[in-house]
Amino acid sequence: MKLLLTVSACLLSLSLCCQTGDARVLVIGIDGTRPDCLEAADTPSLDALIADGIYSPDALNNDITYSGPGWSAMLCGVWSDAHGVTSNNFVGSDFDGFPSFMRRLELENPDLNTHSICHWSPINDYILGEVVDEAINAPTDAAVRDAAVSILDNGDPHAVFLHFDDVDINGHGYGFNATVPQYIGAIETTDGYVADVMAALTDRPDYAQENWLILVSTDHGGIGFNHGGTSIEEETMFFLASGNAVEPAVLLKDTLDILPAPENCVAPGSAELRFEGSGDAVVIEDSPALQLGVNQDFTLEVRIRTQATSDVAIIGNKDWNTGLNPGFVFSFEYPNGPAWKVNIADGNERADANGASGVADGQWHTLSCSFDRDGMMRLYTDGVFSAEEDISAVGDIDVGSGWFFGSDILEAYSYTGALSEVRFWHGVLSEEAISAWHCSSLDASHPNWESLQGHWALTEGAGLEVSNSTGSGLVGTVQGAEWNQPEGIITFDYSNTPRIVDVAVTALDHMCLTLEPDWNLTGISWVDGCSTTDVARLDRSTIKTTLYPNPGTDQFQITGLSPNATIEVFDPAGRPVHSAQPGSSTHTVPHTAGRGVYLIRIVDGEQRRTLRWIRH
Ligand SMILES: [Zn+2]
């Protein structure tokens, strides 16, 4: 009864998808082949298969990158947590629970002719030898080619697995790298064997009626002279599915360029000018436009990011050796803060007032001060009023030495930190205007726009000139201070590229086996075979879920997942740091992994989704 049901299901599938026909599959495994090296090598035969196939140079074996676990995953369609192989001695294997695709083909239809020819004998000894109709352990890659050609010339094979080993051997001997001639040479030699095998296949008398799928892949990459670790060089592999029924496509990882987390008042990714003391400064040469005399009301603003509260000159026009010297300066309360302060003097009279404490916390803060020359100077910290002081007794504050950002006019009292957004207005800005604009970029809708005399954003990012956006001269010169461009984080998203476990499932789908849920296959099919849930009809990113809080600190919640879904969390360096079934929807990420962009990979049956979570 069960057999009858299976047969009718298969007939139904045949009538639906029409492309299976006399389905046959050739799986070519090339051990230890890095896709970037495959790209570097001259491989006309594989290139022809790629041109007719679905190809990904960004496929992954992101499990154990040794040959035993790798070939087990490829041939069985499950990861090591299921097939049980964790090293090349195959201890712990469960090929009864998770059979190879060859065994599933033989179980479904013993009349299929199955062959496995391997240079690395453990594949036959442990996985395929007792399963297929013919298993050959070949002493060389050339012997693998010879046996394959003979079977294709003379036999009636339905499923063939070939294993070539020389690429891996040369990687171990000379290095897994595109600059290594022996390694590249081995790839090119293997391509020649593939050419011979493909010639034998396409020369078959009934080739036109036979529906061949050719799958080519590798078990792992390599780095230096080895593999077995979790570097991307070891985990990246290629996946190729080629044949008459395949829609050609190239599947690439997504590259995400993520800017640094936004900072208070500063656009993410903005360049900043760093002052490291020792006279580092921006100098605005003296000009009539800088003169303030006895009566000119004015307002000054600057954004600072610092962790020091010493007696420095942040911006000013005076010799800061004594507060009585003529001129103005933004500084810190003598001798070491914690409040920031403003001093103004004419040589005889001085006035001083403190702003808020807490601005030297390494974050951006805006310091503003309006000077009503026959009244008060008023200090604002991040747009909030801090203090005021009578300055009506202070007379002429012009010095004639220009203005300095980051030191006083003698290049002393040097500031350590970053500065930006220096604004110089004529007139007294209102509390409302200062509050509303302290954290914004300037534009003509500012109520005092017409009174803006100088605006140095200090975001040039390079060079020794800082421009004044009002266009009225007053260009600054950078002395010693250095530009710092915050680096974005490049993250790669492999959500939609194949995995090594997809090889077996793609083969089974092409061969029109019904993929039973209780087989617990992890891979998915990349061809339009008989399965109704292959990738041609299934977006891997269909899991609907919510992740919060994002950004977060130690924990995130994830909702909407089925109880069978698994979650893997990768830190910004790509290392797995957490994995779980959802059960509890709360996940805690260890602190050692640091800040940055985490990838959260969710697998739920054949559906996958990768989410990004920012830890700050
Ligand atoms: Zn290997």
Q: Which residue has the higher pLDDT, 308 or 254?
A: 308
% residues pLDDT > 70 (the chain): 91
Residue 594: alpha-carbon gap to chain centroid: 15
Convert the pLDDT of each residue in 159-169 to its tens digit: 999 999 999 99
Q: Which residue has the higher pLDDT, 549 or 606?
A: 549
Q: What is the mean pLDDT of residues 161-180?
A: 98
Q: How far is the CA of 385 from the centre of ligand 1 (A)?
A: 68
> Residue 12's pLDDT band (boundaries 50, 70, 90)?
very low
Convert the pLDDT of each residue in 429-465 to its tens digit: 999 999 999 998 899 999 999 999 999 999 898 899 9
Q: How far is the CA of 477 from the centre of ligand 1 (A)?
A: 60
Q: How far is the CA of 15 from the centre of ligand 1 (A)?
A: 39
Distance CA 328, CA 386 (A): 18
Q: How far is the CA of 87 from the centre of ligand 1 (A)?
A: 11
Full-model pTM: 0.60
Residue ranges of alpha helices (H) inside 398-553 are 431-437, 502-510
Q: How far is the CA of 168 from the centre of ligand 1 (A)?
A: 6
In this predicted structure, what is the pLDDT of residue 564? 83
Q: Which two tokens stand for residue 371?
A: 């000077």
Q: What is the mean pLDDT of residues 32-44?
A: 97
Convert the pLDDT of each residue in 399-438 to its tens digit: 999 999 999 999 999 999 999 999 999 999 999 999 999 9
Could you write out the three-class secondary structure of 560-592? CCCCCCEEEEECCCCCEEEEECCCCCEEECCHH
The pLDDT of residue 16 is above 50: no
Convert the pLDDT of each residue in 315-354 to its tens digit: 999 999 999 999 999 999 999 999 999 999 999 999 999 9
The pLDDT of residue 10 is above 50: no
Q: How far is the CA of 62 from the centre of ligand 1 (A)?
A: 14
Convert the pLDDT of each residue in 237-253 to its tens digit: 999 999 987 888 888 88
Q: How far is the CA of 221 from the centre of ligand 1 (A)?
A: 8
In this predicted structure, what is the pLDDT of residue 256? 63
Q: How far is the CA of 31 from the centre of ligand 1 (A)?
A: 5
Domains of the chain: 2-254+492-538 (3.40.720.10), 272-484 (2.60.120.200), 539-616 (2.60.40.1930)
> Residue 539's pLDDT band (boundaries 50, 70, 90)?
very low
Q: How far is the CA of 239 from the centre of ligand 1 (A)?
A: 15
Q: Which two tokens stand for residue 72?
A: 């087990």
Q: Which residue has the higher pLDDT, 253 or 212?
A: 212
Residue ranges of alpha helices (H) inside 161-279 are 166-174, 181-202, 232-235
Residue 270, CB-side half-sphere exposure with 13 Å CA sphere: 20
> Residue 580's pLDDT band (boundaries 50, 70, 90)?
confident
- For 454, phi and psi rounded to 5 degrees? -150, 140
In this predicted structure, what is the pLDDT of residue 484? 86
Convert the pLDDT of each residue in 74-95 to its tens digit: 999 999 999 999 999 999 999 9
Q: What is the mean pLDDT of residues 35-45?
A: 97
Provide the residue type at 261 as one letter. Answer: A
Q: Report the mean per-residue pLDDT for the chain.
A: 90
